[in-house]
Amino acid sequence: MTGNPIKVLFLSPEVVPFAKSGGLADVAGSLPLALKRMGMDVVLVMPYYRTIKDKHLKGRWVVKDLEVPFGNDRLQADVFMTSLAKGIPVYLIDREDLYDRPNLYGTPRGDYYDNLERFAFFAHASLCLMESIDFRPDIIHCHDWQSGLIPAILKGPYGRSKHFSRTATIFTIHNLGYQGLFPAQKLPITGLDYRNFFHADGLEFWGNMSLLKSGIVYADAVTTVSPTYSMEIQTSEYGMGMEGILQYRQEFLYGILNGIDYHQWDPAKDKHIPETYYPNRMKGKMKCKDALIQEMNMDASFKNKPLAGMISRLDNQKGLDLLVAILEKILALDMGLIILGAGDVKIQRAIRKTADHHPGRVGLYIGFNEPLAHRIMAGVDIFLIPSRYEPCGLTQMYALKYGTVPVARATGGLQDTIIPFDKSTGEGNGFLFGPHAAEAFLASIEQALECYKDPQTWKRIQSNGMQADFSWDRSAEMYTEVYQTVLKKRNILA
Ligand code: ADP
């Protein structure tokens, strides 16, 4: 890159290693590093959640009593600064009444009742902080509904601010299913007015306001996390009511596949697994399988039988209904299954019910456990992802790297990363099924098991997968192109 570095303010409600509930955090922890490598000047801002405070991070308080407009009031916040890596500061907005809670967004009983207040405050505080530390971003890159207000308030209350007069916004949709819906009468909290913003071409969505729609409508460009998902969300099947506005913004909508962080996810150097391995030395994978079978109290006979795994939020999106529907049939195929998941209590119960009937054949861990996720990825043969929809999906990319063969639904990023295995050519790295139907899922698993029986064929599929490269640098180049396009449009870049 020539000239002055592009200055990027990166706004995500979760960032690895500070706070994580899903793939968004992985992305927000990796993409800034890749942008920095490309020569950009990147800063991050996120809420100072209790779970981050509990980590006692190194850093210092940089701003006390930052004045933040909030509805008709002005509230104060303190700001703690730590870093993501050398040269990438992370500013943590501290307000105990909003962020000092056990979870990020809610409890199993539902979302926190004041999430609008929490994330509207986050949006305003982030902009006020930029003024206070005199960082003038060229790009504000917002992620998901929690930062979806920013593109709108930059056109509303901050529209005349000289500080942001050269700032363009990018809004990335990681999951259209989370729309940030709040009652219309709460709009004044956001600092926006009804006349200019609350209408069908604005952030109004069937009588409510949607912070996701705010990001889609008001950002200079919208991106989502895979090419296939960027097409799917413009259809009524996947658009969740947003398809019209997404079609309208088509010219500014880009699908950029997420990368994965090979420092964290590489079986050749993974610190969480009992033995490392790589394509020419796969013995380590057998050891990982043996250890996992013991750890999960599985029947020892599975050492020589196919073992499948799943690591997932327990949510309808992830197609667990299909898994529950075929669980008994899978077990009848003499395949073992290990599931790591947290979320919906009803789904937990349904899986546990079958698991309890088959001790030693289903290993179930309910909860969030990062080291165990690595051990499962390394220790199983087959990885199941029957998602109803999947914007990008990271676990299939981890699985490929770990020589664990994915069986997944042909949708979104799964379709963009998994190539169905073709026996006649020896090409392909996994198995895909089309319709969201239990029989189709089962047939795909049976296809995988057929190939598993022949060690040479299986080796070939594994090795095809392990060669795939989903590192971040390629995606970061594509984001850079989008940044440059919007800056050129605003006549900021020559
Ligand atoms: P999503 O963001 O929709 O949840 P992704 O596949 O993009 O799905 O990312 C999920 C991330 O969360 C992966 O890094 C996966 O390993 C991790 N993960 C999901 N559930 C658990 C869990 N129960 N324990 C540990 N890691 C989990």
Contact indicator for 118, 98 with CB cutoff of 8 Å: yes
Contact indicator for 89, 44 with CB cutoff of 8 Å: yes
What Å distances lie between residue 468 and 34, 143, 418, CA to CA? 19, 27, 10
Atom of ligand 1 nearest to the CA of 318: 3
Superfamily of domain 283-470: Glycogen Phosphorylase B; (3.40.50.2000)
Query: Does the Cβ of 393 fall within 6 Å of ligand 1?
Result: yes
Query: Does the Cβ of 26 fall within 6 Å of ligand 1?
Result: yes
Task: Report pLDDT digits (tens) over 369-383.
Answer: 999 999 999 999 999
Query: Does the Cβ of 341 fall within 6 Å of ligand 1?
Result: yes
Task: Report pLDDT digits (tens) over 72-81.
Answer: 999 999 999 9
With a CB cutoff of 8 Å and minimum separation 6, the contacts of 192 are 149, 152, 153, 156, 157, 198, 203
Task: Report pLDDT digits (tens) over 411-451.
Answer: 999 999 999 999 999 999 999 999 999 999 999 999 999 99
Substitution candidate for ligand 1 out of 311, 320, 348, 397 with most atoms within 8 A of CB: 311
Cβ neighbours, 10 Å, residue 123: 26
109 falls in which pLDDT band (50, 70, 90)?
confident
* Interval 259-274 mean pLDDT: 95
Distance 385 CA to ligand 1 centre (A): 11
Structure token digits, residue 158: 């901050």
- Output phi, psi for 373, to 5 deg: -55, -40
Same fold, 7-259+473-489 and 283-470: yes
Query: Does the Cβ of 364 fall within 6 Å of ligand 1?
Result: no
Task: Report pLDDT digits (tens) over 144-172.
Answer: 999 999 999 999 999 999 999 999 999 99
| CATH number belonging to domain 7-259+473-489 | 3.40.50.2000
Contact indicator for 208, 138 with CB cutoff of 8 Å: no
Residue nearest to atom 18 of ligand 1 (CA): 312
Residue 493 has pLDDT above 70, yes or no: no
* Interval 455-472 mean pLDDT: 96
Contact indicator for 64, 100 with CB cutoff of 8 Å: no
What gap in Å lies between CA 423 and CA 457, rounded to an integer? 8
* Interval 329-351 mean pLDDT: 94
Residue 3 has pLDDT above 80, yes or no: no
State residue 314's pLDDT score. 93
Domain ranges of the chain: 7-259+473-489, 283-470
